[in-house]
Structure 1
Amino acid sequence: METAEPRDSTKKTLHLFEGFGVELEYMIVQQGSLQVLPITDKLIYDEVGAYLSDVEFGDIAWSNELVLHVVELKTQGPVKSLMQLQEKFQAHVQKINRMLAKYDAMLLPTGAHPLMNPYTDTKLWPHEHNAVYEAYNRIFDCRGHGWANLQSTHLNLPFYDDAEFEKLHAAIRVLLPIMPALSASTPILDGAVTGLADSRLEVYRQNQQKLPSIAGKVIPEAVFNEADYEEQVLQPMYHEVAPYDPEGTLQEEFLNSRGAIARFGRNTIEIRLLDIQECPVADMAVLQAVVTVLQALIAERWVPLHDLKAWHEDRLSAILLEVIAKGQEAILTDLAYAQLFGFDFGESCTVGELWKHLVQEVLSLDDQPELANALHVIVSRGNLSKRIIEALGDTPSEEKIREVYRQLAVCLQKGSVFLPDTPC
């Protein structure tokens, strides 16, 4: 969750895929019990001697989030390439873990804490930009998994003008429904298997039902220029929130909670649908797959742009809901959807089969063996949710959950991909 950012006319506006912004959110937990620890402000204070919202380290910055037990690592401005970005993030993960050791604490990956009670364990960030968080809390009550227990990976992609926004938004909209098949990492909430591949997205899509225009159908509406976006997406949200927000604190682009949001203040679209993975190399593998498929869609490799723009959010949302529930095992019966990606099948296929087709068609990671290996695991062994359940079983004890998630914390520290039958 971010605060407002004014349009900066001095910044160079980038063209499609000339830059990338990446944000990774991690929980801070006690090493043994995995109890969430609300000490992000202490971590930042220990580094810079002040309770700041952002701490910059050259290419990478740290920042706070809504809740005090989450820290975000992000690229400081756009980077030219995703290449080797995992190494920079990994170095900061290890630095933070060293700093947290004095609190008997560590970073924990995955998109949701498996044991957290958000109604008793939630503490909001009390320092800089607190007014925004307090406004959200006043309107929605931010105790709950949909606010206090969801860690994601965000990808920001630039566009130069309306013509590039049209292409990028059209491509992102049609790819969004199947992105969680790769990234789902949240099979457990409240110490129990939920039966969903992506429990984070299930609570995320419902966390603002009081004001339904804010998240919409999660899949953005079919709008392809700034004026229409302002009229059809932003203004209805601002109008709906206004009676609850008399100071106008939330009347900004960041209020938009769709799975991808336009940020015209900085000429980017921010993809927010992805659960965070077990380590940065796995996140970068997912992002590389997403970017490469988007590039192919925009280049009209399989179908013309007109065909991408024609898809209504309701039809795309139906696919997304199946993927939230079943991940790569979701059955795809919409032949026309698969044809957007040049994939012809009989009566049905799985979303996992569609991703195997896409990886084979457009991805070449020969010069990035770490990413190639991580993506191979995700596509062949299943997303992290599936691998976690494989390690836990269907009715795990609390101690078994702690054991597996401690292994995931080791994977994060070491930068290694999680396999149920292999130590990190």
Structure 2
Amino acid sequence: MLLCKGVEVEMYTGTPTGDVVGLSDRIVRDLEGFVREPDSRNVEYTTAPLCCYDRLLCALLKPRQSLRQYLEQQGNYTIIPGSTLSLGGSERFYRSDPHNPYHSYIEETYGTKVVTASIHLNIGIPSTEILIQACRLVRVEAPLYLALSASSPFLDGQVTGYHSTRWQMFPKTPQHVPLFTSHPHFIAWTQEQLAQGKMQNVRHLWTSVRPNGDRRPYLLNRLELRICDLIIDPLQLLAVIALLEARITQLIENPQLDPLQLSSLSPEKMLELTDNNELAAAANSLDAQLSHWKDGRTIVAREWIEELYQEVFPVAKKHGFACFLSPLSKILQQGNQAQRWLKQYKQGLSIEQIMTESIETTAIQEQELESKICAKLLVA
């Protein structure tokens, strides 16, 4: 049986040459299903929780097609790939809702460090304690998903030296988040953070992975992976989701995979390694030297992902979604978005040329996918 999956997609809007332009007030006013972020240059949509991968693909594509058509009507605007303000604009915050006090707090506290675009993956897990257990496992492996998704090597027209500039600068909050041992532990910890003012509200937990639900921290029903940069390629996004689902399904079927049971390291040491792994993955993504949570051994991110792929493939095959894992091989062989862009840069293309080409290629690919896949589903 497949787990339910929902995706929160944050994207920039702007010109076909890659300049980001804030249009979220118009988009939210005129298009159903889109919500604003604190900065007007971002807009977000969320898919419904779906089990079927084909339907999830269409749920990802259809809002984008509506948004693309709308943006063209507004003045030849489009969707911008990447997870940072690649060509410029990080010196100023453009408020989407000047009267929202939480947005005021975000602008005053973090500035444009939070003006990034990302993908949040939500996987439904009905048992609360299994959900907390899954959060532990995904937390220590989250750097692998960052390595696969990195798409922000540029900021303000410069090469930053990071493959995920977004995660390198994003203000993780609170600064120390433990490996939660149980649901009551998560409740007590959240209450303590709110009382101390380290979190402004229950949503103000900005870490790589967190428990999520309709009434946090009490009613939880899904794991939310927040570390991924924007994966603009829908098929590659499905592959990353399939890897995550297969790993969680493997844990559900074999609870001994829990890091608290399987690792020879203390929880504090695992967290220390994981924090360092996140920074290493932000810098070098698939080529990063990481430390394995099981025993602390050094392993390259690409090799770790390959090991994980081989381990979970039988699980995905058993549950009928192994085919959706296949694009992972292409990412491992050809590089993620950031690595492909940096290769083009080294070959002599300017950042504006790279963004312009990527914008055009993405629009064509999405149109072809929607007409090929979604039309069949409607007929069926």
Global fold match (TM > 0.5): yes
Q: Determine if the alignment matches structure 1 residue 29 to structure 2 residue 26.
A: no
Task: Tell me if structure 2 keeps the 8 A contact 1:162–1:226.
Answer: yes
Helix, strand or coil for the counterpart of 1:99? helix
Structure 1: which amino acid aligns with 2:38? L
**In 1, Cα distance between equivalents of 2:290 and 2:41:** 38
Structure 2: which amino acid aligns with 1:18? L
Structure 1: which amino acid aligns with 2:36? N
**In 2, Cα distance between equivalents of 1:104 and 1:280:** 23
**Which runs of 5 or more residues in structure 2 are unaligned?**
367-380
Q: Determine if the alignment matches structure 1 residue 147 to structure 2 residue 114.
A: yes
Helix, strand or coil for the counterpart of 1:255? coil
Number of aligned positions between the proteins? 353
Structure 2: which amino acid aligns with 1:255? H
Give the superposition deviation at 1:274: 0.4
Structure 1: which amino acid aligns with 2:65? Q
Query: Hey, what does 2:62 align to over in structure 1?
Result: 91
Moved more, 310-319 or 320-329: 310-319
Give the superposition deviation at 1:200: 0.5
Q: Determine if the alignment matches structure 1 residue 376 to structure 2 residue 334.
A: no
Task: State how 1:25-424 maps to structure 2 within 5 Å.
Answer: 25-32=10-17, 34-47=18-31, 55=32, 61-76=33-48, 78-102=49-73, 103-120=75-92, 122-126=93-97, 130-138=100-108, 140-142=109-111, 144=112, 146-148=113-115, 150-204=116-170, 207=171, 214-217=173-176, 220-232=177-189, 234-241=190-197, 251-264=200-213, 265=215, 266-267=219-220, 268-300=222-254, 303=257, 306-307=261-262, 311-312=267-268, 313-334=271-292, 336-337=294-295, 348-363=298-313, 371-372=324-325, 374-393=327-346, 400-415=350-365
Query: Hey, what does 1:58 align to over in structure 2?
Result: none
Structure 1: which amino acid aligns with 2:188? E
Alignment RMSD (CA, Å): 2.9
CA gap 1:171/1:333 in 2 versus in 1, 3 angstroms: closer
**In 2, Cα distance between equivalents of 1:137 and 1:37:** 18
Task: Tell me if structure 2 keeps the 8 A contact 1:278–1:408.
Answer: no
Helix, strand or coil for the counterpart of 1:123? coil
Structure 2: which amino acid aligns with 1:29? G
**In 2, Cα distance between equivalents of 1:337 and 1:406:** 44
Task: Tell me if structure 1 keeps the 8 A contact 2:137–2:257.
Answer: no
Q: Deviations over 1:156-195 (max 9, x none)?
A: 1233344223322222222213221111111111211111
Q: TM-score, normalised by structure 1?
A: 0.75
Task: Tell me if structure 2 keeps the 8 A contact 1:278–1:411.
Answer: no
Task: Tell me if structure 1 keeps the 8 A contact 2:137–2:258.
Answer: no
Moved more, 104-113 or 262-271: 262-271
CA gap 1:362/1:71 in 2 versus in 1, 3 angstroms: same
Helix, strand or coil for the counterpart of 2:13? strand
Task: Tell me if structure 1 keeps the 8 A contact 2:47–2:59.
Answer: no
Structure 2: which amino acid aligns with 1:252? N
Q: TM-score, normalised by structure 2?
A: 0.83
**In 2, Cα distance between equivalents of 1:408 and 1:85:** 23
Give the superposition deviation at 1:153: 0.5
Helix, strand or coil for the counterpart of 1:275? coil
Structure 1: which amino acid aligns with 2:162? L
Structure 2: which amino acid aligns with 1:147? V
**In 2, Cα distance between equivalents of 1:236 and 1:317:** 22
Helix, strand or coil for the counterpart of 2:228? strand
Helix, strand or coil for the counterpart of 2:14? strand
CA gap 1:157/1:335 in 2 versus in 1, 3 angstroms: closer
CA gap 1:176/1:119 in 2 versus in 1, 3 angstroms: same
Give the superposition deviation at 1:226: 2.5
Give the superposition deviation at 1:333: 4.9
